[in-house]
Amino acid sequence: MQAIHDNYEVYVVEDCCGDVSQLAHENAMKRVIQAGAKPVTALSVMLEWQRDWAERDTYDAVMDIVKRHFGAYGMGVEYAYTMVHGAPATKFPEYAVPVASAAHK
């Protein structure tokens, strides 16, 4: 709010912030939007930072983050990489279910 007051253009990455409840988050978003902030998502910010898809220095790193963290959109990117461009499938780290310790049983 102070940045808006100081005449900055403010964007709030609403899926990267939260509150003590969904209602509190929604009300906070309403307040910052009413004050003039523009809501965006993490994916839109990521794609905006990349901007030029011909920029090969950052393309693969951005796509790696997208494939790992952006659900269906990331799956579409993976599909394009493998099926359209013939790239090998991304090797994601294996997830191991934590074993409960004796103290938690």
**pLDDT in the model for residue 91:** 81
Q: Which of 31, 19, 70 is nearest to 10 (CA)?
A: 31
* Whether 33 and 56 share a structural domain: no
Q: Which of 54, 59, 11, 60 is nearest to 35 (CA)?
A: 11
pTM: 0.65
Kindly state whether residue 3 falls inside one of the protein's structural domains. Answer: yes
Q: Which H helix or E strand runs over 32?
A: helix 22-35
**pLDDT in the model for residue 23:** 94
- Domain total in the chain: 2
* Whether 63 and 32 share a structural domain: no
- Residue 59: give the domain boundaries: 51-89
User: Residue 24 pLDDT more than 90?
Assistant: yes
pLDDT tens track for 31-85: 999 999 999 999 998 888 887 777 778 888 888 888 888 888 888 888 887 887 7
Question: What is the pLDDT averaged over residues 78-105?
Answer: 78
* Whether 15 and 35 share a structural domain: yes
